[in-house]
Amino acid sequence: MWSARILSGTQTGQIVRLKMGRNVVGRSQQCDVVIQSHGVSKEHCEINVYSDKIMLVDLKSSNGTFLNGIRIQNAIANKGDKVAVHDVILDLLPQEALERSPLPQIQQQQPHSVQSPVHASSQAIQQMQAPQMPYQVHQPPEMMGKSPDIQAPLHSQENLVTALLGQVQSYMERVALPGVYKIAELTEFKLVLGGFVGVFIFFVTVLSMFPMMQITKDSIVAESMRRASSLARSVAQVNQQAYLNKNFTGMNTHSAESEEGVTQAVIIDQADASIVAPASRLGQTMKLPFALKTIREGKAIAELIDSNTIAASYPIGVYDPNTGDPQIRAYAIVIYDISSMAFDTGRAISLFMQTLVIASVLGLLVFYFMYHLVEFPIRNLNNQLDEAMKSKTDDIRIRFEFPVLQQLITNINSLLTRSWAAEMAGGSGRPTQSQGFEQEAENLVQLMMLPCAALNVNGDIISCNSRFEQFARRSIAQLTGQNLSTIGDAALQQNIEHLIQQGRENPYAIHSDQLEFSGQSCRINAQTFLTSGSIDYFLVVITPDEGSPE
């Protein structure tokens, strides 16, 4: 869980938890992070929180969005980076880091006292500019009523699934994907994408044939059972009167035997399963298990007796006036071979080819849209880059929800910004590290609402604002780029020199001193800004003591 901590303005000390995804920052009450400042646009910028990074995007605000003192259109932020939304500074930290590292406080101590270390430079800016306020934690609506420290335990099955998915992903990244990437190096990308679509179409078509053939076979069996049962009923009805009259010579099964697929059509006696028709088989015993089952169950049945054969029976009976029930005397049995209606190989191949053609047409449409979906952002990015090179701008935007592409655009914009800045400065095409620090210091000075000045490691004044020149008794033009000795107030000059010396000795603390200006007691605060242990510059801010008239 990430949070935005406000370091300046009327909301100093307020912490707003950020949700995963898009968080809009602005003056409107509908924003996720509401900033109460007239210079902030209604929707000023957005903070996009992903699992592995945070991306800032300026929403064409009037007064701009700054990251570590540099104005940006979109950029990737890291832990502890300082974001300035017009004149309000905030930093981005994980929630656990905020709990371990509360906002630093400057205690009212004697002059030249050393304060406790701070964790980030803009925290010091906030302390110089405004009194400490208690934390106020704002939760997004979906988090209301839930404790951030309580997480539902995962079940063992979920852990097992997660572990398996992790192993599959690891295998794909180590074994499968490198081979796919190699194909794209050897063959044109369009052909690679078309090949994958073609393989997908072929295998899906082949696999779809199996359930289709099974469904067709089941349909054939059901239709064959219906047909065999109908033939058995027809034989029974035609020969019923002759059987009841004991006219066995008048009985025949020729009408059923002439039908395609019928291999046998007989009438058997109920008593001993002997055949009574056709006449050529008169007196023979039908030893088929189905005949015995028919006699035992005493009703019309139909079933599959092997993979290609269906047997169906229908009873022949007479009405018994004594009991009121029909008395079964014989059964008509039809044996039907379903191979005549079976799904043959020729039909299977024909169906496969038809399905493959239909799938290929649809696959071509899918390939067309997929290829252009991949090509469009790259072509758009290339066109915008050409235009940026001509007009010397650094505002490339592509509204695709694709984090890898957005990161690439951020890096391109950053590279263009540095390139144009170096060109305007008359450099060799690559801005120096000191130029970047000085630009950051100047931007921070201009954001301060109190008298403020930035000095480099040698004690030269990099920049100051209009409020500082009133205390220094020199104009901004006279002070910028000059040594501390240029300051007209000797006491202020000595105090700043002493605080800078303390900053060199202990760069991880805010150093303070007191001085009166026209009877007003003020506190002079100095903070050291450093990168990788090396001092970049010092920031000096003058704040009235609490209780003193401004």
pLDDT digits (tens, 9 = 90+) for 307-335: 889 999 999 887 766 666 778 888 999 99
pLDDT digits (tens, 9 = 90+) for 504-546: 888 888 899 888 887 788 999 998 888 767 888 899 999 887 6
DSSP code, position 234: H
pLDDT surpassing 90 at residue 25:
yes
pLDDT digits (tens, 9 = 90+) for 255-284: 888 888 898 899 988 888 888 888 888 888
pLDDT at 331: 92
Contact at 8 Å (CB) between 146 and 152?
A: no
Percent with pLDDT over 70 in the chain: 82
DSSP string, 169-197: HHHIIIIIHHHHHHHHHHS-HHHHHHHHH
Q: Which amino acid is at 506?
A: N
CA distance 462 to 69: 14
pLDDT surpassing 60 at residue 351:
yes
List beta partners, residue 18. 2
Token reading at 22 = 């898009």
Category of 332 on φ-ψ map: left (φ > 0), alpha (ψ -120 to 50) or beta: beta
pTM equals: 0.39
pLDDT bin (cut points 50, 70, 90) of residue 342 is low
Of 104 and 451, which is predicted with more confidence? 451
